[in-house]
Structure 1
Amino acid sequence: MGGTGVPGTGSSRQQDRGVRGGARASGAWPVSTYVAVALALLLLFTALGLGIAYQDNAQRARENATAELSNDAEVAAWTITQSVVSARAQVEAVAANPGAATVLDDPAGCLLPPPGASILSEARLSVVSRTGDVVCTSQPGGATDAAGLHAGSAWLGQTLGTATTQVLWGAQDPVTGGPAIVVARAFAPDDADGRAAAVLFLDVRAAAEDLASVLGLGPDAAVGIVDRATGQVVSASGPAAQALVGAVVDPSRTTGETSEPDGVGRLFASADVETAGWRVYRGVETATVVADARQTLSTFVLLGSLALLAIVVLGWLAQRRVARPLRALTGAVTGARTAGSAADARVDVTGPAELRQLAREFNALLDIRAGHEARLAHQATHDRLTGLPNKDLLRERLARALDPAGDGVGTRAGTGSRVSVLCVGINRFQTISDSLGHDGADRVLVEASARLSSVLRPGDLLVREGGHDFMVLGRDLTVDGAVVLAQRLLAALAEPVGVGSAGIVLTAAIGIAPQDHDSAPERLLREADTAMGRARELGIDWAVFDASMQRRATRYLETEQALRRALTCDELVVHYQPLVDVASGRITGAEALVRWMHPTRGLVAPLEFVPVAEETGLIAAVGEAVLRGACAQAAQWRTDGHPLRISVNVSGAQLQDGTFVPLVADVLRATGLPADRLCLEVTESTLVRWATNGRESLDRLRATGVLLSIDDFGTGYSSLSYLQDLPMTELKIDRSFIARLARDARDLHLVEAVLGMARALGLTVVAEGVENADQHAILRGLGCDRAQGFLFAAPQTAAAFGRLLRDSDSRPDLEPTRA
């Protein structure tokens, strides 16, 4: 027996290159790449962090600015309200002053004091006559130029018509031409004709500037006054904000951020002026609010950039420190592997302490890997249980042996030396396994392999093919030498194996496949297996392969394939042979016999395809087809007035199938055939083999009313106990006894004994194979119940059998024929 070596260094180098290439493809990057990725991730997270920090700072700045703006707006609104209150007090004081009446008579040189206690700079106090003349004012020169200035003014008419102080928020100032807050009160001099009014004009357009000054705002801040009813800006502070005067904004927005109406982004807040239809807006440019946050961001970006630069430099230095020695080590390993043998792959333990430790660990890994590879190589070519080579190694050795150009031992000219393959199959191994269990069966296989190995010649190779089969590759072995080797193998197995409570004697069937001029490895293996199967089929110890075995195997395979097609193409037909009452000669039943009408081979004999069906498991499908067809035909004959009993053969595989009993019930229900009109025939050998496993099926079938018959009685093992234990209703005496009935007294006595035993057990007896009148007469004299055979009719189609039934109606009994 040959050993196996470790893989060559060439394949190792290819494997290493594949591993390294696969590692690179799967993402095993160099250290520099990892450093670069780490730096990129650091930069990304830093940028994200700065962005988040900036957004957070900017949001807080906006919130603080909005709160401050709201406070300023409230202060501005309160300031306007207080200015109006102050103006009311001044106007009422002028109106109540007795000296105001003299002004109406002599306005020359009249000058009122400027308004006081008001934060609004553009305020003007005047006394206006009922005709609209300014008779006195707080502005120098105003009296001489104000004749009829307020004639027809709405505020004047409204004021003169009431005795209370009037505040008009949306009046027009004729002096400035702009909007103003007018605070006026009428008074009536004692000697005057009619009434006059004291009035204070507060310039709205200048109010926003005054409010900005009061609030101490810078040039980038803005204060605006908006008419809530129209949304129009009536006053705004600052040079840039002056452009907003007259623009219309959304009056429903009281706080937030906007770029209306000039496109400049601003944060704003507002407050309503009490008792007025105005709203004061306080705003500031957004850029100003977030300037500090941006400055902070810039500072962080600068510091982060410096830190990142430092990290990059440190990472580069670290990469050089770590990666360069590793690359040197990798280069050394690669160079060692490409240099030659596996031993050269080891790395010299030199250099710094860290690299020396790495080299030692690397060499240790190489040793472990070499051990794993050796074990895997052995497992790939050897059987794990027995340690024998497996079929893969056998194919390799056989190919080398058959190659005359190689180092094998194929046929050598002038010597006639050949190789032969022997296939050794242990018999009844399933029974051994069932009895001993898997562990015991494994011990038997190990012992068998040791015994077979002990009788081999030097140079022969024993292989475990799998299961309980072995193969032997014999070198320089003729056919006669192969037979001698087979006999030695059989003798080695013959000694009892000490497993279990008692020794087990092993037998085997051996197939021998000698090399011929055009043998190929797979062909020799197949031929040895075929020869072993033939030896087992014939019940002999060994068989040498010949061409007829191959033809038979091919024929078997072709039959199996054709039978599968026949089941789908309805090529199977049922013929019927009558069962005749021996005493009266009348037809009482029929046996359904399957026939195969092959499209090219014609009628195929049952003996040719039924064994194939049983071995391949197709017998269940064949049996179902026959059962359905026979029951349907019997039901039809019953409808036609012929209540025959139909007999159908059943195999052991069907009895073991848990679906068979429901199938029978389903067929009877579908066809309408009574259960007592169906008789299922089971051969005696099947009963002996499957009685234990099939007993439940037999009991369930009999419980449905179906009749059960023992077929071919007398050809198998003794069945006397089964006649009493099993629920059988009929037995059929095999034709071999009936054939010699008239010539051999012993057969006559046997048949007579069977009939007596059957009567005692209440069984009906059917004689098979009745072919002449003498046999018929003897059976009648013995009191046999029924008979079947060519004397009465050959198996025939359903149509022919129907005609036979119609003919029998016109005769008292069935006339025997010689068909």
Structure 2
Amino acid sequence: MSLRLRLFMAVTLVIVVHTVVLILLLVEDTREAVSRTQEVQGAWMGKNLATSLANPLITNDLATVQSTVELMFSEQNYLQLAVLDDRGVAIIDLKPDTQKIKPDVPDWFITYLNLSVEPSISHINIGGVDYGQIIILLSPRVLIERAWDEAKGDAMVALAMIVMLSWLLWVLMSIGLRPLDKLSAAVQRIGAGDFSARVEKTGSREFGELISVVNDMSQKLHALYEERRQAEITVLKLNEDLERRVEARTAELAIANKELTHQALHDALTNIPNRTLLYERLEQAIIVAKRERKTVALMMMDLDHFKEINDTMGHHTGDLVLQAVATRLRNVLRQSDTVARLGGDEFAMVLPGAGDKDSAILAAKKILNAVQIPISMEGRNLDIGASLGIVLYPDEGVEASLLLQRADVAMYAAKRGKTGYAYYNTDADRYSVDRLALKSELRHAIQNNELVLYYQPKIDFSSNRISGLEALVRWQHPRHGLMFPDDFIPLAERSNLIKPLTEWVLQEALRQSCVWHADNMPLTVAVNISATNIQDPDFIKSVADALHKTGASAKWLELEITETAIMKEPAVAIAAIAELNHMGVQLAIDDFGTGYSSMAYLKKLLVAKIKIDKSFVMDMHSNNNDAVIVRTLIGLGHNLGLSVVAEGVESTEIWDDLKTLGCDSAQGYSMSRPIPPDKLDEWLRQSVWGFKKL
């Protein structure tokens, strides 16, 4: 074998070896770059995610933890993304389908690359407290595929270089071997990673071409190196962008969490603390008072006649009144005190360091004085009253729940006694227990037909005979005896029992009406209904069901409703009255003259009668103002084409006066008190106001 050939083979072998080594070095650099990128990216992502999850983990907001982790998991290639709590238990552990993240490269390349993927573990540590850790295992798929593409490119370049160099070397061997030293040195520099190495053109043209190829190879390798470096910079920028987005998302979640916390602890209408926050503040005040050996006053307040404001002027005005009361309470109390709305028209105040009982009562008086200042609303001055109950820690209890219960008892004692305020006492507490028991007993009485209807006759002035009766419910209580409507109707309205109670009265009154008509006594029966009934969308159906079940005619039934109940929701009342009128049921306005009804609404109501309130009738014979009012109301009713009934007729003088004024009918003790059903038949047959069988 010739020297030329041996030299050629030797030099060619050197070139091949150097080229292969260069490619291997590039692959090794790629492997190290991938590892570094994986490590840096995993650490940055772990740090960012730890910052994002700190607050949700502290507040145990696992929904936010899951949504944040799933968002991050969807935006990157992961082998694993897990969040552990402080005990090392996985809160969420996400792993992808391994087939979807497998690199699209030959298995031998992955084996040769021998890339070790280590998980990045980041601790969630705030104020020295470890709340958990985050495990991130990034998939190197994209980087491996990029390394494969680079390796293929390098291989193609290397192959081309070997072919060209071999050919050029063979030619150059014929001319001389001296330029090979320079070329060899340049190749060695390139192999060492110095891609800036260039070979000066010397010797023959062929040798110059070979030098150009080497220089071109060096330039391409340098370009590949720069491309890889730019890719690393791009990855870093992506990480920075992800960090900014995570920070922005964290800030948004913090704002949303703050808003939700405020909403959960404050009343939406008045923006003062609600029952939940009041309870927390009360417990905190108790802890401080116990440590400092001080007292805490708890006051519970209920507005008097607030329902009338709602019924008369509407819920919007009622809301404005509640907001005004809340503002006054905040202004009259100290900054360290807590004012809360418990619901409806009930408020509560926590006064830390309130002193003794006398000091608490003095504070209560200041509160009542502030609340009772008239409120100007829609051109009217509304007088606001309140009933306030007072308890002291530790005198009336050492637990927040017990203090709240006893403050409620004291408040109802103040409302019952009309004293404005009341300090807790055991007698009032026993009454509260009785009141709760009474509610349960009333429900039982309705369900088991333990109520009874009394009937008060209505007498027609033209015939001096009975024209109808008003059904008045009574409760024969086993302990309290006969109870009148004022004793339990308000309780029924507060306890959502007014609907079943009214349905029972309707069915019982219509059943009795059927008995009268079967006995040839064509009497109408009147039943009182409340604002709750007339606004109930199911009330019309309840009336129809009662008529159907009893077989009574609609014209035998008369429903009485007050002005106040109508004006609570006029549009609803007008529609309901029109539908009842269409059914054939008669309607009457009860207690006429005491409410705030508008003539504009009154003329739209399809009613047959108005009933003048007894407060005007009872003293009309001796009080000229009442007489004028009664005369005016009778004239108004007749001008509207309505029949007029006077209530509270308790003397023959009043009877005569009403007859002179042209009143149509009357009811009152002068003619008859309310009669139990077992005595009514006898009254109808024997009373001068009764009538003979037809």
* TM-score, normalised via structure 2 length: 0.57
Q: Is 2:688 aligned against 1:804?
A: no
How many angstroms does 1:761 deviate by? Answer: 4.7
- The equivalent of 1:729 in structure 2 is 608
- The equivalent of 2:219 in structure 1 is none
Write the letter of the residue equivalent to 2:116.
A
- The equivalent of 1:647 in structure 2 is 526
| Structural mapping, 1:433-444, within 5 Å | 435=316
How many angstroms does 1:568 deviate by? Answer: 2.1
How many angstroms does 1:538 deviate by? Answer: 8.6
- The equivalent of 2:391 in structure 1 is 514
Secondary structure, counterpart of 1:728 in structure 2 = coil
How many angstroms does 1:341 deviate by? Answer: 5.1
Write the letter of the residue equivalent to 1:481.
S
Q: Is the 8 A contact 2:451 2:475 kept in 1?
A: yes
- The equivalent of 1:472 in structure 2 is 349
Write the letter of the residue equivalent to 2:578.
D
- The equivalent of 1:211 in structure 2 is none
Secondary structure, counterpart of 1:473 in structure 2 = strand
- The equivalent of 1:707 in structure 2 is 586
1:318 aligned residue (105, 116, 133): 116
- The equivalent of 2:128 in structure 1 is 340
How many angstroms does 1:642 deviate by? Answer: 0.9
- The equivalent of 1:525 in structure 2 is 404
- The equivalent of 1:24 in structure 2 is 90
**Aligned equivalents of 1:598 and 1:488: distance in 2?**
41
1:627 aligned residue (492, 496, 506): 506
How many angstroms does 1:784 deviate by? Answer: 4.4
Q: Is the 8 A contact 1:647 1:679 kept in 2?
A: yes
**Aligned equivalents of 1:609 and 1:409: distance in 2?**
42
Q: Is 2:286 aligned against 1:408?
A: no
How many angstroms does 1:721 deviate by? Answer: 6.9
2:516 aligned residue (637, 650, 662): 637
CA deviation string 1:90-122 (max 9, x = no partner): xxxxxxxxxxxxxxxxxxxxxxxxxxxxxxxxx
- The equivalent of 2:453 in structure 1 is 574
Greater Cα shift, 597-606 or 617-626: 597-606
Q: Is 2:304 aligned against 1:421?
A: no
Counterparts in 2 of 1:565 and 1:778: CA distance versus 1, 3 Å: same
Q: Is the 8 A contact 1:497 1:505 kept in 2?
A: yes
CA deviation string 1:181-231 (max 9, x = no partner): xxxxxxxxxxxxxxxxxxxxxxxxxxxxxxxxxxxxxxxxxxxxxxxxxxx
Secondary structure, counterpart of 2:610 in structure 1 = strand
Counterparts in 2 of 1:519 and 1:311: CA distance versus 1, 3 Å: same
Q: Is the 8 A contact 1:594 1:626 kept in 2?
A: yes
**Aligned equivalents of 1:552 and 1:804: distance in 2?**
39
**Aligned equivalents of 1:494 and 1:648: distance in 2?**
36
**Aligned equivalents of 1:605 and 1:363: distance in 2?**
72
How many angstroms does 1:313 deviate by? Answer: 7.7
Counterparts in 2 of 1:419 and 1:799: CA distance versus 1, 3 Å: same
Cα RMSD between the aligned structures?
A: 5.7
Counterparts in 2 of 1:483 and 1:41: CA distance versus 1, 3 Å: closer
How many angstroms does 1:634 deviate by? Answer: 1.2
**Aligned equivalents of 2:493 and 2:247: distance in 1?**
56
- The equivalent of 2:162 in structure 1 is none
How many angstroms does 1:38 deviate by? Answer: 5.5
Counterparts in 2 of 1:449 and 1:741: CA distance versus 1, 3 Å: closer
> What is the percent sequence identity of the aligned residues?
30
Q: Is 2:282 aligned against 1:398?
A: yes
Write the letter of the residue equivalent to 1:474.
L
Q: Is the 8 A contact 1:513 1:524 kept in 2?
A: no
Q: Is the 8 A contact 1:527 1:545 kept in 2?
A: yes
**Aligned equivalents of 1:21 and 1:655: distance in 2?**
60
How many angstroms does 1:631 deviate by? Answer: 1.8
Q: Is the 8 A contact 1:509 1:540 kept in 2?
A: no
Write the letter of the residue equivalent to 2:90.
R
Q: Is 2:515 aligned against 1:606?
A: no
1:563 aligned residue (432, 442, 449): 442
Q: Which has the larger radius of gyration?
A: 1
Instruction: Count residues in correspondence.
Output: 512
CA deviation string 1:100-149 (max 9, x = no partner): xxxxxxxxxxxxxxxxxxxxxxxxxxxxxxxxxxxxxxxxxxxxxxxxxx
Q: Is 2:362 aligned against 1:481?
A: no
How many angstroms does 1:521 deviate by? Answer: 0.8
Secondary structure, counterpart of 2:471 in structure 1 = strand
**Aligned equivalents of 1:655 and 1:635: distance in 2?**
25
| Structural mapping, 1:524-563, within 5 Å | 524-528=403-407, 544-547=423-426, 550-563=429-442
Q: Which runs of 5+ in 1 are unaligned?
A: 1-6, 47-303, 347-352
**Aligned equivalents of 1:701 and 1:12: distance in 2?**
56
Secondary structure, counterpart of 1:570 in structure 2 = coil
Secondary structure, counterpart of 1:513 in structure 2 = strand
**Aligned equivalents of 1:432 and 1:18: distance in 2?**
58
Secondary structure, counterpart of 1:658 in structure 2 = coil
**Aligned equivalents of 2:301 and 2:605: distance in 1?**
40
How many angstroms does 1:711 deviate by? Answer: 2.3
CA deviation string 1:59-111 (max 9, x = no partner): xxxxxxxxxxxxxxxxxxxxxxxxxxxxxxxxxxxxxxxxxxxxxxxxxxxxx
* TM-score, normalised via structure 1 length: 0.49
- The equivalent of 1:789 in structure 2 is 668
- Report which of the two has the higher share of helix: 2
How many angstroms does 1:716 deviate by? Answer: 3.8
Counterparts in 2 of 1:544 and 1:669: CA distance versus 1, 3 Å: same
Q: Is the 8 A contact 1:738 1:775 kept in 2?
A: yes
Pick 1 or 2: higher relative contact order, CA cutoff 8 A, min separation 6.
2
- The equivalent of 1:592 in structure 2 is 471
**Aligned equivalents of 2:487 and 2:626: distance in 1?**
30
How many angstroms does 1:522 deviate by? Answer: 1.9
**Aligned equivalents of 2:375 and 2:614: distance in 1?**
43
- The equivalent of 2:645 in structure 1 is 766
Secondary structure, counterpart of 1:318 in structure 2 = coil
Secondary structure, counterpart of 2:646 in structure 1 = strand
Q: Is the 8 A contact 1:768 1:787 kept in 2?
A: yes
**Aligned equivalents of 2:327 and 2:598: distance in 1?**
42
Q: Is the 8 A contact 2:390 2:421 kept in 1?
A: no
**Aligned equivalents of 1:462 and 1:388: distance in 2?**
7
Q: Is the 8 A contact 1:792 1:814 kept in 2?
A: no
Write the letter of the residue equivalent to 2:592.
F
Greater Cα shift, 710-719 or 608-617: 710-719
Q: Is the 8 A contact 1:714 1:733 kept in 2?
A: yes
Q: Is the 8 A contact 1:402 1:411 kept in 2?
A: no
Q: Is the 8 A contact 2:561 2:590 kept in 1?
A: yes
**Aligned equivalents of 2:381 and 2:299: distance in 1?**
23
| Structural mapping, 1:347-358, within 5 Å | none
Write the letter of the residue equivalent to 2:513.
A
CA deviation string 1:346-382 (max 9, x = no partner): 9xxxxxx999x99999999899979977985896475
**Aligned equivalents of 1:652 and 1:704: distance in 2?**
20
Counterparts in 2 of 1:644 and 1:539: CA distance versus 1, 3 Å: same
How many angstroms does 1:420 deviate by? Answer: 0.8
Write the letter of the residue equivalent to 2:282.
L
Q: Which runs of 5+ in 2 are unaligned?
A: 1-53, 66-82, 135-232
- The equivalent of 2:51 in structure 1 is none
Secondary structure, counterpart of 2:350 in structure 1 = strand
